[in-house]
Amino acid sequence: MEPQPLAGKVALVTGGTRRIGAEICRTLHAQGMNLVVHYRSSKLDAHALQVELLARRPDSVMLVQGDLLNGANLRNLVSKTVEDYKRLDVLVNNASSFYPTPVGDATDKHWDDLIGSNLRAPFFLSQAAVPHLKKSGGCIVNIADIHGDRPLKNYPIYSIAKAGLIMLTKSLARELGPEVRVNAVAPGTILWPENELDEITKQRILSRVPQRRSGDPADIARAVLFLVRDAGYVSGQVIAVDGGRSVVA
């Protein structure tokens, strides 16, 4: 049996109960990590994932519910993690709001929600986690987006927020080294937005991807695992997992 260098270590994953977040949780858990999985409203998905993973290894997954727009909840996530598991090794800032805000229709509420979930929460959650990550020699992985570099039409606030998350990744890598590494993964076409795109639009998007197909949540999870487990001399980097889409004009 191969050794598991992550066995017994602890990861806090925000928005970890559905879609890409759930796959990240499964992948890290399979490497022997204990998980604190945050969710906001997906209670049924959260408990289903917990049951699934606890069947593989007892006492290895804790759920924490909370709205990340509330600063007290951010501090509570970290304190609950350390209180229950006595350590924190990995923070994955995955939770994200995503919806269009065309210029002319955007509101203050849209700004506060999209900037809050995609940028403000990762910053203040990272800040709360820093003392514990320094103690463990841990790392932060932010889930960014290729549209943080190349804006998505009709999604200006989301694109701005993800651009900020990319700069946050680089800034924190400089601030927190050498004790804590900070990197990001920028997905391309992995999962389609729910109930938003017709088949013609999907095929038009895929025609601009050199791989000519969408990716899979497992592609993102494997990139996260690489940054957590295998990339000890990598910090301040953003890995695009997009089938080559970001290099196409």
Q: How far is CA 88 from each of CA 13, 34, 45, rounded to the nearest angstrom? A: 11, 10, 24
**What is the side-by-side order of every strand in the sheet holding 61-65?**
61-65, 34-39, 10-13, 90-93, 139-143, 181-187, 238-241
C-beta separation of 233 from 161 below 8 A: no
Sequence letter at residue 127: Q
| Active site members | 158
Tokens coding 44: 């049924």
Distances (CA, A) of 49 to 12, 21, 26, 193, 211: 15, 11, 9, 21, 31
Residue 244 contacts residue 190 (beta carbons within 8 Å): no
36 touches 80 (CB < 8 A) = yes
- Across 66-168, where does the E strand assignment appear? 90-93, 139-143
CA atoms within 13 A on the CB side of 230: 7
